[in-house]
Amino acid sequence: AELANNIIRVKAPMLNKIAMAIQLTDGMRAGVIVAKFRRRPGEDAEGHHLYEVGGNIGERCLDNDTNMKALYKVNPHAKWIIK
């Protein structure tokens, strides 16, 4: 069901956050997802990045400009972790 709705589950264990379901929209970038995990509004998320885990790449740190909906369509079974 999540695949059809373009929803990913993102974990951020280093930020002491539980998994968050994120609805991917056209043009949504990885940096926008990282920003959703800030502890307080305006807090800098510098130093944290979204990682794509699984598939033939193992683990990859994503650039903040990565188009998440496009990447999700290529690797729908990946796990998404902020660290």
Domain count, the chain: 1
CA proximity to 22, closest of 13, 31, 14: 31
With respect to residue 50, please indicate whether it lies within any of the assigned structural domains.
yes
Reported confidence tier of residue 3, pLDDT bands at 50, 70, 90: low
For 9-46, write each residue's pLDDT tens digit.
999 987 777 899 999 999 999 999 998 887 665 555 56
Residue 63: give its domain's CATH number. Answer: 3.10.20.90
Burial of 25 (0-12, 13-18, 19+ CB in 10 A): exposed
With respect to residue 2, please indicate whether it lies within any of the assigned structural domains.
no
pLDDT at 65 over 90: yes
With respect to residue 74, please indicate whether it lies within any of the assigned structural domains.
yes
With respect to residue 1, please indicate whether it lies within any of the assigned structural domains.
no
pTM for this entry: 0.84
Structural domain of 67: 7-82
